[in-house]
Amino acid sequence: MHYIRFCRPPEVQPGRSHASVKIVLTITTDLSDSFLSPGIPIQLAVVGAYTQQKDGKSQLVPVNLIQTNPPTWRAGMRVLKLDLPLPPSQPIETIQIRPLNRQLTALSTDDVLPGAQGLIMGVYADMPRPGGGPAPSVCFRSLRLSTGDPGVVQTLQIEEDLGESIARHIWDSGIVMVSLFADLCFDSTAGTAQKKALPLLRDILSPQDRALNILELGCGVGVMGIGLARILALRQAKEQPRILMTDLPEAEQKARANIARQADASANLDFEPLDWEDGKDDRFGDQAASCAWELVALCDCTYNTDTLPPLVKTLSALHRHSATHSAETGAPVNTEVLVATKLRHSSERIFFDLMSAEGWAIREQTVLPLPMLDGEAQAVEVYLFGKQG
């Protein structure tokens, strides 16, 4: 998958007859390690929006900022600069850039999961006001959650930093996993292939008589944990799940900002710092130590092989903690581990050797295709582990 990125915040400049907005963008992979080089040039849509009051309610009204000659991304480009007039009568509050061709755009989970072709994810940003303070330092992504019911429209919004650094950004596996969860939990149009491939995972995510406790390791900006929380909440089960996202302390600000964006999520969703160097020695925060965890999930956490030994030890420590907690409460819990990864290099395979050495066995697995518009297809591998014995 590729991502449209703002290289710097959109800049609004006043003019005699109308203001204009200057934009510098690029289109890269999730790690910003290569630029999109399409065989056929890709035209882009630039859409602004402003708030309008109607029937006592606020609603966003879209405005196409490109009337003729859409901006085009071609092979060999590294950046694309735009200078666009703004409508004088509407105060544009947000701006969106996406492919003009709907078939190339990752708009919903049903677009992502089939893996039929390479996609581009659009980007949104708030517009600065001339003289109204500093330009925004963040942008956000939007993904519709396909519930199988055309009357239910829910959109996941995830904030990330502007620019091309890999920190505090969405990565491919997170988007793919949210799409997988939607397919497992609803009768989506993406088909039932993953329901057949991952029946145990689907059972775990099915409505429970009691609240389901899920802990995520290495959550980053929070796309997988928040997406899962939104999907499980939409099913309106009797007991809503508890999802605790964890990562190093420097991830907390962005994770909490994205939790705050989920005003309509009824799941118990929170963040707590957790360093695997502490976790491997059974040192957990108050929330991580407060219950037994039915599912421990991690996404794109195997890329740094130096951190894999403490990661695997942390997984085993969480399993021991959950077993002890469930024995004390008399409520049996069997902790499973869900791993999603887009392998970047072969050395990451040591993760599976470490898991085996700790007594973890793969209970089920699948491969989710991730085609690319300009090169060899990629894939996200999904594994559900359980403890042997």
Q: Which two tokens stand for residue 335?
A: 């902790």
Here the CATH number for the domain that contains residue 212 is 3.40.50.150
Residues 136 and 206 in one domain: no
**How many residues make up the chain in this entry?**
389
Domain that holds residue 248: 172-387
Whether 141 is in a domain gets the answer yes
Q: Is the dihedral of CA 282, 288, 293, 299 positive or negative?
A: negative
Whether 166 is in a domain gets the answer no
Residues 228 and 101 in one domain: no
Report how far residue 184's alpha carbon sits from residue 182's, in angstroms, rounded to the nearest whole number.
6
Residues 125 and 220 in one domain: no
114, 139, 161 — which closes off a domain? Answer: 161
Residues 191 and 325 in one domain: yes
161, 181, 207 — which closes off a domain? Answer: 161
Whether 74 is in a domain gets the answer yes
Q: Are 299 and 225 contacting, i.e. CB atoms less than 8 angstroms apart?
A: no
Residues 176 and 137 in one domain: no
Report how far residue 178's alpha carbon sits from residue 239's, in angstroms, rounded to the nearest whole number.
21
Whether 113 is in a domain gets the answer yes
Residues 146 and 187 in one domain: no
Residues 346 and 241 in one domain: yes
CA distances from 297 to 169, 199, 311, 389 (A): 19, 17, 12, 21
Whether 368 is in a domain gets the answer yes
- The number of distinct structural domains making up the chain is 2
Q: Which two tokens stand for residue 368?
A: 């989710």
Report how far residue 223's alpha carbon sits from residue 258's, in angstroms, rounded to the nearest whole number.
8
Residues 117 and 211 in one domain: no
Residues 259 and 299 in one domain: yes
Residues 194 and 281 in one domain: yes
pLDDT tens for each residue of the chain, 389 residues long: 999 999 999 988 887 778 889 999 999 999 988 999 999 999 999 999 999 888 878 888 999 999 789 999 999 999 999 999 998 888 899 999 999 999 999 999 999 998 899 999 999 999 886 556 666 788 999 999 988 777 777 899 999 998 766 668 899 999 999 999 999 998 654 555 666 789 999 999 987 777 899 999 999 999 999 999 999 888 766 778 899 999 999 999 999 999 998 866 556 899 999 999 999 999 999 999 999 999 999 999 999 999 999 999 999 999 999 999 988 887 788 899 999 999 989 999 999 999 999 999 999 999 999 999 998 999 999 999 999 75
Whether 56 is in a domain gets the answer yes
108, 136, 161 — which closes off a domain? Answer: 161
Whether 167 is in a domain gets the answer no
Report how far residue 368's alpha carbon sits from residue 180's, in angstroms, rounded to the nearest whole number.
9
Residues 220 and 369 in one domain: yes
Residues 354 and 328 in one domain: yes
